[in-house]
Homo-oligomer: A and B are copies of this chain.
Amino acid sequence: LDELAETGYAGLTFEGVARRAGVHKTTVYRRWSTLERLVLAAMLEQARLGVPVADTGSLRTDLLALGLGSAATTATAQSETVLRTVVGVGSRDAAIARASREFWDARLAMDAAIVERAIGRDEVDAGTCPREVIEAVLAPIYFRRLVTSEPVDDDYVKRLVDRVCDGVTGAGRRTPRARR
């Protein structure tokens, strides 16, 4: 990831990665047969280590920890390069596409525990899809990082999490219209 951040994807080589890691290049490409696979593996490893799943006893603070954690792990130039590389490669490489789908499937299932616990505490309706609530928090952060390039500051993440929470708990500030 350090090498990728320094050279960019266009300048990335097995030789450069091997040199930085202090191993022979055959050691690298024996395990990851293409540069794309190597980059994906590095990204998955980084994401796995980056954002632990909070369990604070409240949906709002658990989702806030998730949002702030994701904002932080996607904030570096290194992380942006890796994300853009994987999205850019996209469906052109079937192995990368499958590995990426498997990664997100696992990641969303892991994070979904936050919403499942909130359903268990009766904070959220049992009919709510836990993964879609997690997506509602993660997607706007990735959208800003990858698509619009707008800043993601803590206040933005807090407003985002508040809106998502109000949407699934019905705890909006306004008087529900049906009750007026």
Interface set of A (CB-CB < 8 Å, partner B): 8, 10, 80-81, 84-85, 87-92, 97, 100-101, 104-105, 108, 123, 125, 129, 132-133, 135-136, 138-140, 142-144, 146-150, 156, 159-160, 163-178
When distances are taken between beta carbons in the complex, the residues of chain B under 8 Å from A146 are 87, 90, 146-147
Could you say which of B85, B90, B172 contacts A176, with CB atoms under 8 Å apart?
B172
- Do B164 and A171 have beta carbons less than 8 Å apart? no
| A132 / chain B contacts, CB cutoff of 8 Å | 140, 156, 159-160, 163
Q: Which residues of B contact A91 (CB under 8 A)?
A: 80, 84, 149
In the complex, 19 of the A-B residue pairs with CB atoms within 8 angstroms, ordered by the A residue number, are: A84-B90, A88-B88, A100-B149, A104-B149, A105-B148, A123-B177, A132-B140, A132-B156, A132-B159, A132-B160, A135-B144, A135-B148, A139-B147, A165-B167, A167-B168, A167-B172, A170-B174, A171-B172, A172-B172
Q: Point out the residues of chain B lying under 8 angstroms from A138, CB to CB.
A: 143
